[in-house]
Amino acid sequence: MPLQPVPPGSRLALEDDDAKPPRDLLAGDALKDELKRLTERLEELQRAFYAECKRSVLIVIQGRDTSGKDGLIRKVFGPLDSQGCVVTAFKKPSDLELSHDYLWRVHQAVPPRSVIGIFNRSHYEDVLIVRVRKLVSEAIWSRRYSHINDFERMLTDSGVTILKFFLHISKKEQKERLEERLKDPSKNWKFNPGDLDERALWDDYTEAYREMLARCSTEWAPWYLVPADKKTARDVMVADVVVRTLEKMDPQFPRANPDVLKMAKEIV
């Protein structure tokens, strides 16, 4: 069964079992074949979407450390034409960004018409790490849910289709992936001692994620809960939502001017 949007107001459990792929999902080589089919279809749709130049798509990806944000982007969106697919990774705000409102740097990265924009982390950090680490008071971060909903509503009213994916990983799987980073020389660089500090705040983050999903999954900008313990299953579920969304939009290549087509006879 395809992923369904999180119903507005739903407070999900976010238990470890929720990180397992659905039982009815394909497995093994069949799952890999499905990912190949979906990414090829996504490439086809992107070409028409870029040429049509009428709308844009914003894909927001959030998740705990090691949940696979980078891997998902590489496997699902890596094959796309870079002219029409832009990835923005939101790190710690710079001094310039901090001198503005918290949505200032985000608004600048919203994709223009014809582009699929991908946010690796996003404006939701301002109700996640900012909340858990107490970087601002509750009186400040608690108002941001409505700010974000209004911001996303304005974007959709301007022709931006928003899809938001929360990659949900179990505590056991995160432990194994962190250990793998230490054992594999090609992944050592990805290990940050600060990841252990964040892991120690697991329950606090869980509550922050629950509230984020409950208060900011909207009709115009839905959240999808993606079980992320199995990497290929994760990629297939996200790719399926994106492909179905673009197919519903049905992008078309612009029709050529008849006078231009006549010029084909003049080519020697």
* Higher pLDDT pick, 146 / 268: 146
DSSP 8-state class, residue 77: I
* Higher pLDDT pick, 7 / 193: 7
Residue 49 is predicted with a pLDDT of: 98
In a domain, 69, yes or no: yes
Tell me the β-bridge partners of 160: 56
- Could you give phi then psi for residue 7, rounded to 5 degrees? -60, 135
In a domain, 33, yes or no: yes
Count of CB atoms within 10 A of residue 26's CB? 15
In a domain, 83, yes or no: yes
Tell me the β-bridge partners of 61: 120, 165
DSSP 8-state class, residue 93: P
145-182 pLDDT per residue, tens = 999 999 999 999 999 999 999 999 999 999 999 999 98
Domain that holds residue 253: 16-266
In a domain, 3, yes or no: no
If you average pLDDT over residues 4-14, what whole number do you get?
Answer: 97
In a domain, 7, yes or no: no
Q: How many domains does the structure of the chain reveal?
A: 1
Is 206:146 a contact under the CB 8 Å cutoff?
no
Residue 162 is predicted with a pLDDT of: 98
In a domain, 2, yes or no: no
DSSP 8-state class, residue 229: S
Residue type, 198: E
In a domain, 4, yes or no: no
DSSP three-state, residue 63: strand
pLDDT band at 268 (very low <50, low <70, confident <90, very high): low
Percent of the chain with pLDDT over 90: 88
18-59 pLDDT per residue, tens = 999 999 999 999 999 999 999 999 999 999 999 999 999 999
Residue 258 is predicted with a pLDDT of: 76
Count of CB atoms within 10 A of residue 232's CB? 18
Is residue 213 scored above 80 in pLDDT?
A: yes
Residue type, 196: L
- Could you give phi then psi for residue 114, rounded to 5 degrees? 85, -5
* Alpha helices in the chain, H assignment, sequence order: 28-52, 69-72, 95-98, 104-108, 129-132, 138-141, 144-157, 171-183, 193-199, 202-216, 231-249, 258-262
Residue 193 is predicted with a pLDDT of: 84
* Measured distance CA(57)–CA(249) in Å, rounded: 11
* Measured distance CA(151)–CA(153) in Å, rounded: 5
In a domain, 191, yes or no: yes
Looking up residue 51, the CATH number of its domain turns out to be 3.40.50.300
Is residue 198 scored above 70 in pLDDT?
A: yes
* Measured distance CA(154)–CA(148) in Å, rounded: 10
DSSP three-state, residue 126: helix
